[in-house]
Amino acid sequence: MTSTFGFTPGQPPVWDIERFMRGDEVDTAVITLERNRLTFAWKCADVAAAGMSRRLGASSVTLGGLLKHLAWVEELYFQHRLAGRAFMSPFDVLDLERDWDDWAWATAADDTPDALRALWAEAVHRSRASLTEAWSRGGLDQTTHDGMSLRRLLADMIEEYARHTGHADLLREHVDGATGEGAPSDFPVP
């Protein structure tokens, strides 16, 4: 098991190509999650308010809504489930049963693009801190407060990002024609 991923508050994660190509199960899971986060951040970068609220067809999904939704998912999985901590604002006043399906999509247009990106980035940094704490207690088989293994939690997060990065890819192309599979090497890691 690897005990650290180079997560320093306010700094991007650090890893090398050897770790990426030949890492153990933990390296593979965390680097895959980080690659998905990076690609998602790139899809949402430099998009103005009109682009953040653009939809495809009848779907309520927007780039702004995706940023809010994934920030809430980060909080749900890494703060609530893994660390047993309270949600940060604005998630601390929401109800999962009442608000889960619509809140992010309905309220994203009320926020500026910079505020949406900052909310998501803050949630990601908090998640990295919680994950680093978890590694100090054990490996992938440790369980969350509701009985989910850390392995399952990471797999769920990778799935969540893979699905929503695909949505973001389509939305971004609709906004300004930008396409691509991965962020450029000089794109800053959030």
Segment 130-144 shows an average pLDDT of: 89
Phi, psi of 112 (to 5 degrees): -75, 155
**Residue 156, CA distances (Å) to 62, 111, 119, 149, 182 in order:** 21, 27, 21, 11, 21
Q: What is the pLDDT of residue 7?
A: 56
The answer to whether 75 and 100 are in contact (CB under 8 A) is: no
pLDDT over 50 (residue 1): no
Q: What is the pLDDT of residue 123?
A: 97
pLDDT over 90 (residue 137): no
CA–CA gap between residue 183 and residue 93 (Å, rounded): 34
Q: What is the pLDDT of residue 159?
A: 98
**CB within 8 A of 57, min separation 6: which ones?**
none
**Residue 132, CA distances (Å) to 3, 16, 26, 117, 139 in order:** 7, 18, 12, 23, 11
Query: Considering Cα of 135, then 84, then 161, then 88, what sign does the dihedral take?
Result: negative
pLDDT over 80 (residue 10): no
Segment 134-141 shows an average pLDDT of: 88
Token pair 């989910």 is at which residue? 148
pLDDT digits (tens, 9 = 90+) for 83-128: 999 999 999 999 999 999 999 999 999 999 999 999 999 999 999 9
Q: How many CA atoms lie within 13 A of 64 on its CB side?
A: 25
pLDDT digits (tens, 9 = 90+) for 20-77: 788 888 888 888 899 899 999 999 999 999 999 999 999 999 999 999 999 999 999 9
Q: What is the pLDDT of residue 11?
A: 53
Residue 3 binned pLDDT confidence (cut-offs 50, 70, 90):
very low
Residue 184 binned pLDDT confidence (cut-offs 50, 70, 90):
confident
Could you give the dihedral angle defined by the CA atoms of residues 69, 75, 80 and 85, in that order, rounded to the nearest 10 degrees? -150
Segment 149-173 shows an average pLDDT of: 97
Q: What is the pLDDT of residue 16?
A: 66
The answer to whether 113 and 48 are in contact (CB under 8 A) is: yes
Residue 2 binned pLDDT confidence (cut-offs 50, 70, 90):
very low
